[in-house]
């Protein structure tokens, strides 16, 4: 969550809402949902007392017989915020991250927006087990949100808080800029769709980062969007022909990704996505002067191959053997896995070389804000 507004209002929010939670043994300040939506004493009693008498008393006072039902209804999640970290960026931006049980605390955010109408900001949530992500807006005393399937770049924007260098600060500033700029045709009080808002955020972030990181983030967006189209049944041949008819960087990237069957199977798409994630991480580290660690092989092994059965690997190998320059040792499953990891490392090198060929020098730039939002 990133909030901005007058310094005095940010200070009031922090003073009232960032505090030690009830019964927290650590004594460390955190975002406290009870500062916004207090839990009634009759409900608090059911946390340690689940007797019939306590449940009946809670039900009579609130309509909810225990803490779980009350919390889900009034906080949108069963527990208070935890794993909290927060910081000020200058005098007018407050940036924080926290975890919840299962879902985003939307009822709490609605109260926050109404209580501090001078504040505006963005809320990003990733609910991996539910397979969803959320982008919300706090503006003019109201909270609105939109959901979509989990998106790697939403995760990146959330996790940027803990990344080295200035990417966390730059991401917070990009979120503030994007949320403060309604998209063309967006109705008052409505929330933009996740893809439209995410493209707007990326455009704002790209203007603040190095050319290498901006280029890699837009490329990753193209990988994710193309993967989604193929997963939905779009024809790779049709997509390639459509891209060949256009003359811009995004179209060039589609052609490149579809060449040599780089995106043919679901496993291929997962490998490309993870390799691109590695490239983005390396670009962030380069911005922070941390050098480069060999991530690719380990990430593909643990994030892709660990979740694939052997039949899928053998099926991939049967198709991949016909790709130019690819030779696989099919002696056994372990040897095949090593061959796939070798392929991922070569793909990493190919994509890094492709991205280093900066086509903007030829007059082709990253998408404009209007084009990205469209």
pLDDT of residue 322: 84
pLDDT tens, position by position, 118-161: 999 999 999 988 899 999 999 999 999 999 999 999 999 999 99
Instruction: Kindly report which listed range (48-52, 172-176, 284-288) carries the lowest average pLDDT score.
Output: 284-288
Neighbours of 356 (CB within 10 A): 9
Average pLDDT over residues 41-66: 95
Helix axes 333-356, 310-320, angle to 10 degrees: 60
Whether residue 363 is predicted with pLDDT greater than 90 in this model: the reply is: no
Highest average pLDDT, of 30-34, 239-243, 358-362, comes from: 30-34
Mean pLDDT for the stretch of residues 65-77: 96
Question: Is residue 298 a contact partner of residue 275, using CB atoms and an 8 Å limit?
Answer: no
pLDDT at 75 (0 to 100): 97
The Cα 101–Cα 76 span in angstroms is 9
pLDDT given at position 129: 83
Between residues 365 and 176, the one the model is more confident about: 176
Here the contacts of 243-252 (C-beta below 8 Å, separation 24 or greater) are 248/364, 249/218, 249/359, 249/360, 249/364, 249/365, 249/366, 249/367, 250/218, 250/222, 250/367, 252/359, 252/364
As a whole-number percent, the residues of the chain with pLDDT over 90 amount to 81
Torsion sign over Cα 71, 146, 278, 97? negative
Q: How far apart are CA 53 and CA 230, in angstroms?
A: 57
Give the best-scoring range by mean pLDDT among 99-103, 164-168, 169-173, 293-297.
Answer: 169-173
The residue to which tokens 């030690």 are assigned = 20
pLDDT at 371 over 70: no
- 42 or 362, which is more confident? 42
Distance of alpha carbon 313 from alpha carbon 319, whole angstroms: 10
361 pLDDT more than 80: no
Residue whose token pair is 């949108």: 76
Residue 124 has a pLDDT of 97
pLDDT tens per residue, range 112-128: 999 999 999 999 999 98
Q: In the predicted model, is pLDDT for residue 314 greater than 60?
A: yes
Q: What percent of the chain has pLDDT over 70?
A: 93
Helix (H, G, I), strand (E, B) or coil at 51: coil
The pLDDT of residue 369: 34
For the stretch 78-122, pLDDT in tens is: 999 999 999 999 999 999 999 999 899 999 999 999 999 999 999
- pLDDT at position 344 is 94
Report the mean per-residue pLDDT for the chain. Answer: 90
DSSP state for residue 285 in the 8-state scheme: H
291 vs 222: which has the higher pLDDT: 222
């Amino acid at each position: 969550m990133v909030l901005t507004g007058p310094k005095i209002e940010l200070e009031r929010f922090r003073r009232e809402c960032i505090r030690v939670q009830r019964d927290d043994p650590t004594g460390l300040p955190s975002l406290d949902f009870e500062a916004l939506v207090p839990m009634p004493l009759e409900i608090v009693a059911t946390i340690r007392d689940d007797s019939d008498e306590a449940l009946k008393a809670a039900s009579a006072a609130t309509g909810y017989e225990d803490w779980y039902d009350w919390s889900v209804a009034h906080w949108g999640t069963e527990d208070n915020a935890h794993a909290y970290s927060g910081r000020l960026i200058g005098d007018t931006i407050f940036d924080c991250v926290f975890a919840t049980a299962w879902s985003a605390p939307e009822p709490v955010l609605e109260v926050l927006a109404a209580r501090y109408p001078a504040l505006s900001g963005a809320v990003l949530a990733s609910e991996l087990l539910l397979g969803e992500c959320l982008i919300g807006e706090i503006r003019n005393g109201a909270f609105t949100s939109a959901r979509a399937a989990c998106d790697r770049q939403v995760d990146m924007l959330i996790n940027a808080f803990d990344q080295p260098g200035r990417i966390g600060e730059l991401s917070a500033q990009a979120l503030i800029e994007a949320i403060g700029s309604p998209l063309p045709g967006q109705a008052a009080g409505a929330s933009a769709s996740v893809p439209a808002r995410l493209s707007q955020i990326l455009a704002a972030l790209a203007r603040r980062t190095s050319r290498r990181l901006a280029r890699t983030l837009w490329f990753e967006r193209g990988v994710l969007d193309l993967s989604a189209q193929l997963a939905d049944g779009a024809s790779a041949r049709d997509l390639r022909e459509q891209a060949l008819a256009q003359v811009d960087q995004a179209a060039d990237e589609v052609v490149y990704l579809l060449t040599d069957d780089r995106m043919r199977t679901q496993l291929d798409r997962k490998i490309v996505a993870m390799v691109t994630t590695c490239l983005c991480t390396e670009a962030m580290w380069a911005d922070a002067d941390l050098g480069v660690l060999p991530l690719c092989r380990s990430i593909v092994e643990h994030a892709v191959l660990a979740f694939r059965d052997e039949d899928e690997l053998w099926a991939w190998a049967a198709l991949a053997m016909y790709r130019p320059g690819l030779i696989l040792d099919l002696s056994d499953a372990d040897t095949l896995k090593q061959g796939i990891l070798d392929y991922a490392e070569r793909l990493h090198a190919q994509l890094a070389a492709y991205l280093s060929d900066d086509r903007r020098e030829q007059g082709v730039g990253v998408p404009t804000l209007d084009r990205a939002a469209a």
